[in-house]
Structure 1
């Protein structure tokens, strides 16, 4: 006799999603995006095109009494030629705010980067699969399924053994954060273990994570996308990608920061806005980029290749960037009382580096993500922090992290 439950299929639509800015209707399902379609058309490289489609912080949210849940999805997995394939991305199921079950979807498309410097790549198509969660707590509960933060994920079908209702409004503030690969979740083992997800849980806010691996470069289209998205709290982490890409000199960096902040203020004139400089990264503190992969000993590490002497001519290292960001924010804050600055070394500095060294000299390990989140929670969401005060619930909060458009 079959033990399969009587399945109820619920269409995966935008109103089931949180933490996205746009969704694309594909031939077989729904593909969440973290930048809107008009911004994606302005993306200049494949690295950002891949990163924004990886759904870090994106989750399905619904209320149900189901004890078994299945989600059909087609993942696209990024691998690097010559290196072992990474483990399958993890789907985290949260029931009433607690991590209750995890699943993976084997197979799927494989996006193979054949050259780490040029980022040239090849796509091999594969089959869709199913993330299956069983043994969930009985009774009505709020369920969130956090999608793998480093796998592009096309959502195809949601099945449950009990009806699904739209998630309840929790009245939480919406925190929109933009940053680099560390904010995206590099080296975190599952999606609710990235430092922004952990910090959002600590601050009891709804997360919109616009951390893009390798691509926090003060792009104007990112600023305009953030300007147009609902948010109660905004943070931007600036510095590491600009330095390790050797993307700017000081002369271009300063007006680019002003322009990015000006754009944010067009849509969010009085929203608490926090500028965070780079975490401690010894290889780039005093040495400009570009950053280069170093395979010495068979382990991937990164090294800076610039000349520290060229800082005098305006070439950027992290120390230069931090000093300039502090100066910019101090000057602007004289007329903008809702603008704040945080030195990233307060989140991950010498003490953290001694306890949780950077495995590849740039990205923290899972324990490092937890420490960053703890420090962010204390300094930013904690008493006296720039995000501590809870204003009245706004339209942004009621939209529960900003459903975007459907392409």
Structure 2
């Protein structure tokens, strides 16, 4: 920790964070979570534990005249045995809403994953320091967006001038839930994930519950959405249920209804948009489960393959086309009594023409350019004059961070 007298240390509290639903005290400081403790206690899945603690959409926000900012963090990085090392997570610095710098923190804990055996090993590492200098000396709003793909414990925040909690911007709060694509897989930086891009274009505050591999219609996630203040809600559903080969058509429909019922308990008239999966050629008509291609991994590449049999659709196995048909049917059925419920076919965000121009590099996740396209398309469609989020009206709810 710094002892230089020019630095002012400010405790990291919930008032300085946006986009997190819970803040856990740790040995090193605080750990932002995107699911509340009660939800986390209801599932022991290590994949869920990893992704919900990765702070996609979570940012420190404050007002200050400081020209230098330092943040000590303990990141947890992933390393797949046999694959190239992943680059360090990126922190985005925004000054009055404009990207003004980027940085990374080296060191930290490493989570080693062996896909051939399914084993995981944690290798402890040291706290590192993120540093930004040369900021304008005027009073300004500073945002530090945390890496969307690294669990990040926040140890200490230092500035060379006092800081205060930024006032509530008064903008509508958009809560989005989805899969790894919504989480930000393969995006360039935390403000370049498609939900962050769409939020910036629409001028709304983002709460991102994109959970890589874990958009599985879990009741505890539905309750988290229900209990989180929001003015606009979107649910991007389906791909992870196919990836995991988690349920058959008989269970999928009632699970979607139950998820929507729970959300509506807390948000009875909030604009609610159900979004089906974007185009993913390998799963359009082939069920899961999805598996990592071990032959490609041996060549140093990460790609995915669909391992199901298309003939199994007859027994109720799910494909993306089956999922889209069911989601469209459910929303149409419910919309007769719920005028605030809407449906968007995910292929309007990324379809066949997009796949020909910008194919999914690993067969499953979009690259940085495709994240931008999806974000721009979502903003154009959902926030258009005739979109699901148009003219939502009413006073903005308080406490939507």
- Under TM normalisation by the shorter chain, which class is it? over 0.9
Matched, 1:100 2:103: no
- Extract unaligned runs of 5+ from structure 1: 403-407
Identify which range, 340-349 or 82-91, moves more after superposition: 82-91
Equivalent pair of 1:74/1:153 in contact (CA under 8 Å): yes
User: C-alpha distance in 2, partners of 1:244/1:137?
Assistant: 47
User: C-alpha distance in 2, partners of 1:116/1:207?
Assistant: 37
User: C-alpha distance in 2, partners of 1:61/1:358?
Assistant: 33
Matched, 1:34 2:52: no
Equivalent pair of 1:171/1:393 in contact (CA under 8 Å): no
Counterparts of residues 11-90 of structure 1 (less than 5 Å): 11-90=11-90
Q: How many residues align?
A: 395
User: C-alpha distance in 1, partners of 2:359/2:28?
Assistant: 43
User: C-alpha distance in 2, partners of 1:295/1:368?
Assistant: 25
Equivalent pair of 1:59/1:147 in contact (CA under 8 Å): yes
Matched, 1:252 2:251: yes
Matched, 1:229 2:231: no
Equivalent pair of 1:56/1:149 in contact (CA under 8 Å): yes
User: C-alpha distance in 2, partners of 1:128/1:321?
Assistant: 44
Equivalent pair of 2:61/2:142 in contact (CA under 8 Å): yes
User: C-alpha distance in 2, partners of 1:290/1:218?
Assistant: 17
Equivalent pair of 1:79/1:85 in contact (CA under 8 Å): yes
User: C-alpha distance in 1, partners of 2:360/2:239?
Assistant: 14
Counterparts of residues 341-380 of structure 1 (less than 5 Å): 341-380=343-382
Equivalent pair of 1:172/1:393 in contact (CA under 8 Å): no
- 1:169-197, CA deviations, whole angstroms, 9 ceiling, x for partnerless residues? 21101111110000000001110000001
User: C-alpha distance in 2, partners of 1:390/1:141?
Assistant: 30
- Supply the RMSD in Å over aligned alpha carbons: 1.2
What SS does structure 2 have at the residue aligned with 1:23? strand
User: C-alpha distance in 2, partners of 1:141/1:330?
Assistant: 46
1:125 maps to 124
Runs of 4+, deviation exceeding 3 Å:
none
Alpha-carbon spacing, 1:71–1:388, altered in 2? closer, same or farther (3 Å)? same
What SS does structure 2 have at the residue aligned with 1:137? coil
Equivalent pair of 2:28/2:74 in contact (CA under 8 Å): no
Matched, 1:388 2:387: no
What SS does structure 2 have at the residue aligned with 1:303? strand
Counterparts of residues 308-323 of structure 1 (less than 5 Å): 308-323=310-325
Equivalent pair of 2:83/2:302 in contact (CA under 8 Å): no
Q: Which fold has the larger relative contact order, with Cα–Cα distance below 8 Å and residues 6 or more apart in sequence?
A: 1
Equivalent pair of 1:191/1:197 in contact (CA under 8 Å): yes
User: C-alpha distance in 2, partners of 1:187/1:335?
Assistant: 39
- Extract unaligned runs of 5+ from structure 2: none
User: C-alpha distance in 2, partners of 1:316/1:334?
Assistant: 26
Equivalent pair of 1:179/1:216 in contact (CA under 8 Å): yes
Identify which range, 78-87 or 250-259, moves more after superposition: 78-87
What SS does structure 2 have at the residue aligned with 1:148? coil
Task: Give the Å deviation of 1:138.
Answer: 2.5
User: C-alpha distance in 2, partners of 1:127/1:205?
Assistant: 36
| TM-score normalised over the length of structure 1 | 0.95
